[in-house]
Amino acid sequence: MRRREAIIFLGGAAATWRLLPRALAKEGPRISILHSGFPNRTPIHLLFEALQTLGYEQGRTATIDLYGAEGDSARLTTLVGQLAAQRPDVIIALTSPAVVALKQAGGTTPVVFAFVSDPIGLGIVEILARPGANFTGVTYSDAVLGGKRLEFLIDALPGTKRVAVLWSRMFPENLPIFENIGRSASARGIEIVSRELRGAEDLAPAFDDAARAGAQCMIFLTDNTMFGRRKEIAQLAIAHHLPSIHSFSPEARDGGLMSFGPDAGEIYQRTAALADRILKGAHPADLPVEEPTRFTLVVNLKTAAALGLTILPSFLARADEVIE
């Protein structure tokens, strides 16, 4: 069982992890972490652990502030303004909206980003090898993973002919993922049932629509808001008998049938390492944007049992993690 750690929040919109007075870390660097969603609903402790391994211990050798915009664009703008005034030594920006907001603000503080699938298309960097300006980070080509998720889903569920995709255009990077799924489905003779989400309140109706359309299973494309509702989404999938595959391992651990995506632990470790290099004098413009090397397939057999499914041993042998 993987350890889950609680995050202590202080100060409303400016959520911070402060276990000891800042005075104890007055000689150390200030690291600000900005998340556009709900960081306390993610495995953010992995980032703090990666930073600590590199010598940045909260309250002793560094001041590490955690800010969560909770999916609110106005709050995100406010937090970006706060960071501009505070001028930390480095900002770690998690998710595309946070990075875009910092880019648009035009600050000069070094920024290391993560969980951004298309930094060139979003105008964050010029090229991955030499990003330019004050941004670098860890990216991954998530669009091509859409077709890979479809492949895993139909391999686990032989005879699948109709697959629902639940997604939102409000998260721009979902569109190329959806298009990649469509191309892969066409090549395999699979019919796609597209259901766009209009917000959290639209979740239950979306599942109703997918089931009525005769979908046999589902690909769920998450975003900042939906990621925090992954247990609710898993319960809806089971209630509608829609075996599902998701983007990130916490979605499968919290009840989705499967997930396939980049290993979060590796992303956080490499993000922390880039921040460390900047704090030791490197310039972001000279640090190539990195891509993950580990992608994990997680299968939840508890969910399979709840759905009345038997997953073949040959498929389970391909999984990096099996939840029993």
For the cut 60, the answer to whether the pLDDT of residue 14 exceeds it is no
Domains and CATH numbers, the chain: 22-139+263-293 (3.40.50.2300), 142-262+296-323 (3.40.50.2300)
Give the pLDDT of residue 152.
97
- The region of weakest confidence among 21-35, 76-90, 268-282 is 21-35
Instruction: Show the CA angle centred on residue 116, arms to residues 110 and 120, nearest 5°.
Output: 80
Nearest to 219 by CA among 170, 264, 177: 177
- For the segment 107-120, what is each residue's pLDDT rounded down to a tens digit? 999 999 999 988 99
- Residue 12 pLDDT level (bands cut at 50, 70, 90): very low
316 to each of 62, 299, 305, how far by Cα in Å? 43, 7, 14
* pLDDT > 50? residue 83: yes
| Mean pLDDT (the chain, rounded) | 90
In the predicted model, what is the mean pLDDT of residues 58-64?
Answer: 94
With a CB cutoff of 8 Å and minimum separation 6, the contacts of 164 are 192, 193, 194, 195, 210, 213, 215, 217, 218, 219, 242
Beta strands (DSSP E) in 157-239 are 162-167, 191-196, 217-220
Name the pLDDT band for 26 (thresholds 50, 70, 90).
Answer: low
Of the candidates 246, 248, 251, 257, the one whose C-alpha atom is nearest the C-alpha of residue 299 is 257
Q: Give pTM, 2 decimals.
A: 0.84
User: Can you say whether the dihedral through the CA atoms of 39, 269, 287, 86 is positive or negative?
Assistant: positive
pLDDT band with cut points at 50, 70 and 90 for residue 164: very high
DSSP annotation of 121 reads T
Q: For 251-276, how does the pLDDT look when each residue is reduced to its tens digit (9 = 90+)? A: 999 999 999 999 999 999 999 999 99
Per-residue confidence band for 228, with pLDDT thresholds at 50, 70 and 90? confident
Question: Bigger pLDDT: 108 or 22?
Answer: 108
Write out pLDDT tens, residues 178-189. 999 999 999 999
What kind and span of H or E run contains 245? Answer: strand 244-246
Other CB atoms within a 10 A radius of the CB of residue 314 amount to: 8
Residues 22 and 24: their CA atoms lie apart, in Å, by 5
**Residue 223 clears pLDDT 60, i.e. is over it:** yes
| pLDDT at 6 (0 to 100) | 32
Q: 100: part of which helix (H) or strand (E)?
A: helix 96-105
Q: In this model, does residue 160 exceed pLDDT 70?
A: yes
